[in-house]
Amino acid sequence: MRQVNRLLRRSRANLRRPPRPRWIAPLRRFAILALALAALSGTTYLMVEAGLTAAAYDTLRGKLRSAEDRLGLRVRDILTQGRERTPRRELQRTLASYEGQYILTVDLQAVRERLERLPWVRRATVKRLLPSTLLVRLEEHRPTALWRGPEGLRLIGRDGETIPVEDLRPFRDLPLLYGAEAPARVPDLRRLLAGEPELARRVTGAALVGARRWDVFIDGRTTVRLPETAAERAWRLLAREQRRNRILDRAIDAIDLRSPGWIVLRPNRQILRQPGRKAA
């Protein structure tokens, strides 16, 4: 009777025992592999010291790789996140050589550098997901403007970086920048324009004058001359006048905001020269 009671207590204890966490099995496999690698390193040292043949080393290494195969530690899957503009085939071609490699020997730095040589990839990170997956995260360039530089048109990203793409036709509606140092000042220009979003949507280009200040082109026909200092204040002043008096909807070639608190207008000369016509 005591033996039966003892068996019943053991059965209840087993029923109350929580299930093993799922991470234990992969951890155990990884520990076995780590011990095997350590054993290989130590064995290699002893073999070199003892002057044993390379054939014996190759045999041992082959057995280790066989053990890695049984544990499934080869790259079977490559997951990518963040891809929008990078062509899928180009990405697959870049990563294809890593499929089937032993995952612990994949050079993650080399993978990252190869990815960042792709035209649209600004930054990449690569991680191992044991036992058999590489996780690739891409941060792509975000085109912001076209820049007319000494070598022709170039596509510029949000931080002023040049995006090395050849076909610029899909981006012909982006604002056009002028000035040798204009790309480096793109972040400043973006912050300036973002202060008045409705006005910013009408910007078709900008020129960095003397590497000091901006001339901004509105609707492809009106030049807005901003001051070197307090450009944000002048931009807000223009937005306020547009809301009140629709100043940008008039026949005006240029608006000069370089004098604090003043707005100097230059009407369209062609309209002024037309007989019987007055500037709006």
On average, the pLDDT of the chain sits at 83
The reply to whether 253 and 157 lie within a common domain is yes
In a domain, 280, yes or no: no
Which residues are within 8 A (CB) of 150 and not within 5 positions of it... i.e. 6 or more apart?
Answer: 180
Give the integer Cα–Cα distance in Å for 186 and 203.
14
Same domain flag for 116 and 56: no
Per-residue model confidence as pLDDT tens digits over 218-255: 999 999 999 999 999 999 999 999 999 999 999 999 99
Which DSSP helix (H) or strand (E) runs through 129? strand 121-129
- State whether 243 and 163 are in the same domain: yes
Q: What is the pTM of this model?
A: 0.71
- Classify each residue of 182-220 as buried b or exposed e, where b means 16 or more C-beta atoms within 10 Å of its C-beta: bbebbeebeebbeebeebbebbebbbbeeeebbbbbbee
Furthest-apart CA atoms within the chain: distance in Å: 122
Shared domain check, 265 and 245: yes
pLDDT digits (tens, 9 = 90+) for 155-214: 999 999 999 999 999 999 999 999 999 999 999 999 999 999 999 999 999 999 999 999
CATH of the domain at 136: 3.10.20.310
- Residues 156, 254, single domain; the answer is yes
Highest mean pLDDT among 32-36, 38-42, 110-114: 110-114
Strand extents, DSSP E, 130-273: 133-140, 143-149, 152-157, 162-163, 176-178, 203-209, 213-218, 222-225, 252-256, 264-267
Range of the domain at 46: 2-71
| Residues 202, 160 share a domain | yes
Q: Identify whether 279 is part of a domain.
A: no
Which pLDDT band, with edges at 50, 70 and 90, does 115 fall under?
very high
C-alpha 68: how far from its chain's center?
A: 34
